[in-house]
A and B are shown apart, each in its own frame.
Chain A
């Protein structure tokens, strides 16, 4: 009976996986990629992103921390530290949170640094407290999914630091471990 159930479940998973979508490449992408490859050893196309704000979301739901369309160091910006969103996670159970950056303008070559509190690790980066990416943001919402694992029941504050040219901003997310 149990084998029958398992087989049926496996079949269902297989069907789901076969249906797992993948968007096609943009029409012009192949041509552009060829041109870039043949010109140089080449200017990479990695920075196609932009920036302006930050939010936090849990399990795919965008939380209330969106700041859009402003300069990173704009004094008019609400202080991210005043409204710190939070996430609760269980000990030793991976949980994916989505950081959302909304932007009105293109920002190329921004640096994003995620600093983790003690006892929280980013899945795939064991033992690392700070991870940096060179990136840039697209206009509109940009999502960064992070799978966190709590190794101790302490929790703390996760910092996401964005830097673009001489501007920078730090955003906070409280991580509570139960």
Chain B
């Protein structure tokens, strides 16, 4: 295959999964720059394995697993504590204004406040708990899908989910977001 043909073959395999992969990258890292970094890193790695990739039945799931493993292997590099721009919308209050909202400005403001508090609460969870709760409760992954993605047994995933929710409840009650 010529280089152009290789590029085309690669694009055909990976492009259908871009939105899913980008969402995963964002949920893992929690910030735009790191999500883009992780996404880019994945593509570079996947391109180097094009010969394997063409043989895989479910390239989307494979790519998700590779992305997760990349994140775990280099989690310090992709940690959400790294710099990110204020206008990314990653931190509420400093960038959420542009989010799609509702017509009523009062309610919209309340929503932003609550998202802001949730954002802060999630930041207090461990990576393991934050990722599980975001994948399951926000992204709608099933427990078995999280097991497949992370290699963590369903029982452990369930227990992390339970603990993550309990901790979120504790934080959000303490700061008055829920009562």
* Residues of A near any B CB (own CB < 8 A): 6, 9-10, 12-14, 16-23, 25, 29-30, 33-34, 36-38, 40-42, 44-46, 48-49, 59-60, 62, 94, 96, 98, 100-101, 112, 122, 124-125, 133, 135, 137-138, 140-147
Contacts and interface: CB of A to CB of B under 8 A. Distances in A.
Q: Is the interface of A mostly helix, strand, loop or mixed?
A: mixed
B142 interface: no
Contacts of A34: 7, 10-11, 14-15, 43
Given A16-B118, A21-B115, A60 B93 contact: yes
Contacts of A29: 36
B66 interface: no
Interface string B121-153: 011101100000110011000000000000000
Interface string B66-104: 000000000010011111111111111110100100000
Q: Which of B81, B92, B178 has the most CB of A within 10 A?
A: B81
B172 A141 contact: no
A87 to B, nearest CB: 15
Nearest to B23: A22
B37 A46 contact: yes
A49 B92 CA distance: 20
B138 A17 contact: yes
